Chains A and B, each alone.
Chain A
Amino acid sequence: MISCTEFIAAYSEHFKFLEKKGGKKAVLDFWNFLSRKYLTSSLKRLVKKHGIRGCWLYWQKSLNEEAADFTMELDEKDGVFKIIMHHCPSKGRLMQWKHMRPYPEYCLHCDVLYRRILEPLGFTYEADLTATGKARCRLVVRKKP
């Protein structure tokens, strides 16, 4: 069994395997597939039902279960949802495992997966990935006027 606590390593190796098979396009195709298959019944369903509060409901579960170090903010009146990731548990683990090399563009998968769900539902999606080398990032989702 691959434990869910080992998944991040398996995920990173999956990206590396796909890139070897078919270049970056193969990785991107997989991320698009995963977004459609994995997030339709969770994030997409919640945002369709609850509007921007669906983001709060989705990430409240996943970030707590992933034991992330984060600040999350929701302002329903202004239609803004933010995540300030102080220490990403996934990237943090990949950096901690010195015996294996993570997929270099590992953090980009979040951007592809979530943007693909949220933008068609009428939101803008901004991700600041400039500090992913320190396992930090920021995400801002805004309802389009």
Chain B
Amino acid sequence: MSKKIMVRRAADNEYLHKDFHGAMNLALEYLRKRFGAGAVRDYLRQYARSFHAPLTARLRRRGLGVLEDYIKKTYAMEGAPVSVRRTQDELVFKTKYCPAVKHIRRLKLAVSPLFIETERTVYGAICENTPYRHELISYDKRTGRSIQRFSRKQ
């Protein structure tokens, strides 16, 4: 019978709780089953418009370099490889896998068939009211491997 105390300051650890990917997957599945696929997309659009409003504003003002920084930083934090190629009017990024999908599988959860919308709908919403558009060129539902492009609207 033990007595234990643990004291931690925020700076003692890196903020990276990957099990949140599992909760995100469950949240999408709950919406899909209860309210349908449209609700999943509406929700993700609401999230992206709200949380990513500053990113959208910077994209509008400063262009695709902002997205390059964001994508590289995000994948680096998740410890996943990503390659990014950018010109003035186009950015293409390729991933070998989605770290969220990888972790959901590690948790032995079934990946939501709409998990793809965490790419397509979210990046689409980030581009709203900017000179850019997003295309999901390819996506492997098993691994989340993808090729995605942002380009200047014609």
| A residues at B contact (CB < 8 Å) | 1-11, 13-14, 16-18, 21, 30, 33-34, 37-38, 42, 53, 56, 60, 62-77, 87, 89, 97, 99-100
Contact = CB atoms under 8 A, between A and B. Distances in A.
Contact of A64 (B4, B11, B13, B21): B13
Nearest to A13: B47
B6 A5 contact: no
Q: Which of B17, B51, B122 gathers most chain A CB within 10 Å? A: B17
B53 A7 contact: no
B53 to A, nearest CB: 5
Contacts of B54: 99
Closest 3 A-B residue pairs measured CB to CB?
Answer: A7-B20, A65-B17, A9-B51
Main secondary structure on B side of the interface with A: helix
A10 B16 contact: no
B7 A71 contact: yes
Given A38-B26, A77-B3, 14 more contacts: A3-B74, A9-B47, A10-B27, A10-B47, A11-B20, A16-B46, A17-B43, A62-B17, A64-B8, A66-B17, A72-B6, A73-B6, A75-B3, A76-B1
A6 B43 contact: no
Nearest to A100: B50
Contacts of A60: 6
B3 A33 contact: no
Given A4-B16, A17-B46, A21-B39, A63 B4 contact: no
A77 B4 CA distance: 11
Contact of A33 (B18, B30, B118): B30
Contacts of B98: 1
A81 B3 CA distance: 10
Interface in B1-41: 1-24, 26-27, 30-31, 35, 39
A63 B8 contact: yes
Interface string B83-110: 0000000000000001110010000000
Nearest to A17: B43
B50 A13 contact: yes
A18 B75 CA distance: 29
A9 B46 CA distance: 11
Interface string B38-75: 01001100110011011000000000000000000011
Contacts of A8: 20
B94 to A, nearest CB: 13
A38 B6 contact: no
29 contacts: A1-B75, A1-B98, A1-B144, A2-B24, A2-B47, A7-B24, A11-B24, A13-B50, A14-B47, A17-B46, A17-B47, A38-B23, A63-B8, A64-B8, A64-B12, A65-B17, A65-B19, A66-B13, A67-B12, A67-B14, A68-B10, A70-B7, A70-B8, A71-B6, A71-B7, A76-B3, A77-B3, A89-B15, A99-B54
